[in-house]
Amino acid sequence: MGAKVGVTLDDVLDAALTIADERGLAAVTLTETASALGIRTPSLYNHVGGLEGLRRQLRLRGAAALAMAFRAVDAGGEPAHVLRALARAYRRFARQRPGLYEAIQPAVAPGEDDQLYAALQEPVLVVVDVLRRVPLADPDLIPAVRAFRAMLHGFADLERRGGFGMPVDIDSSFEMSIDLVIDGLLGHAQPSRT
């Protein structure tokens, strides 16, 4: 396959993600992305299927990045410690890559885009795997995963939007929030601070 040098798909996604992290996902436009690459807008159609395709690629990338961040936590050791490490990895991801985190959010129904669905499911499966190996107060896994996800997403999303008035003490508020869920899921009475 003969090729020009031009830009690659990775170049396009990197440019788009830079814009997303700096100015929000809504600022990721084909015009802006092309301009950042020194390219004309229609040329992007050679790499991604329009704006929709670009957003899909960003979501694939974001899902993979979050799954990688999850897999990087040590799954050994005390259950509560592993869950806390997962939670911190989640929040760190949302803080360091706000544009990527934002890109991940829209859900996709199974069967609508199987590759994308699988990618977005990856991080969830990591949590499921951890919770499966842990002695839960309630043996039903599904509500436990949902509660854990809800707290992580809710906290990260509110923080990303600046929903917490004062920036002070957000770290310890996060620790307490996840301890509520983790200790509750494990059936402990008192939150054990780290």
Partner DNA sequence: CACCATGACTAATGGTATTAGTCACGAGCG
Partner DNA sequence: CGCTCGTGACTAATACCATTAGTCATGGTG
Binding site residues, DNA, CB under 7 A: 1-8, 29-32, 34, 38-43, 45-47, 50-52
SS3 content of the chain, % helix, strand, coil (to 5): 70, 0, 30
Q: Shortest distance, CB of residue 192 to its own copies, whole angstroms?
A: 12
From 64-72, 81-89, 126-134, 174-182, give the range in contact with its own copies by CB under 8 A: 174-182
Binding-site partner at residue 135 among its own copies, DNA, none, CB < 5 to 8 Å by type: none
Judged by CB under 8 A, the residue of 133, 176, 192, 194 near its own copies is 176
* Contact call for residue 8 and its own copies (CB under 8 A): no
- DSSP calls for 14-77: HHHHHHHHHH-GGG--HHHHHHHHT--GGGGGGTSSHHHHHHHHHHHHHHHHHHHHHHTS---S
Q: Shortest distance, CB of residue 194 to its own copies, whole angstroms?
A: 14
Question: Are 47 and 12 spatial neighbours (Cβ–Cβ below 8 Å)?
Answer: yes
